[in-house]
Amino acid sequence: LNTIEALPARTGLPASKDVQNYAAQVRALIKSEWVFPSALAQRVYSVEVRFRVKPDGEVTGIAIIKSSGNSLFDASVVKAIKKASPFPPPPPGGEDITVRFRTKGKDEEG
């Protein structure tokens, strides 16, 4: 089972409903473009990537903030973000996005 989360920027304030909905929309767009490297199916990986969405939907500043330790996996996530862009224009407060991709290996329980 592979999971992906889109997290609003950590500002210390609760994210508005608009920002939460936007993050979910971005997550779905990225997930639709993500191709999981099948060679990695037996292992568990998790990566967090942060980026900014400009008012026109263009993505800038893609940065891996927590690497999975596997460059192939990390690159697959960055590639999916680039392929999914441009995104719809972000609502106020929704410009900075952090996504977390996590895989569950075939031999992992739960």
CATH number at residue 12: 3.30.1150.10
Residues of the chain with pLDDT under 50: 1, 11-13, 107-110
pLDDT of residue 110: 39
pLDDT of residue 80: 94
pLDDT of residue 89: 93
Cα 99 to chain centroid distance, Å, stands at 3
**Domains held by the chain: number:** 1
Q: Which of 86, 73, 80, 9 is nearest to 46 (CA)?
A: 73
**What is the per-residue pLDDT across 22-42, written as a single tens digit (0 to 9) for each?**
888 998 999 899 888 887 777
Q: Does 109 reside within a domain?
A: no
Q: Which of 89, 72, 80, 78 is nearest to 31 (CA)?
A: 80
* Average pLDDT score, the chain: 81
**Could you tell me the residue range of the domain that residue 88 belongs to?**
2-103
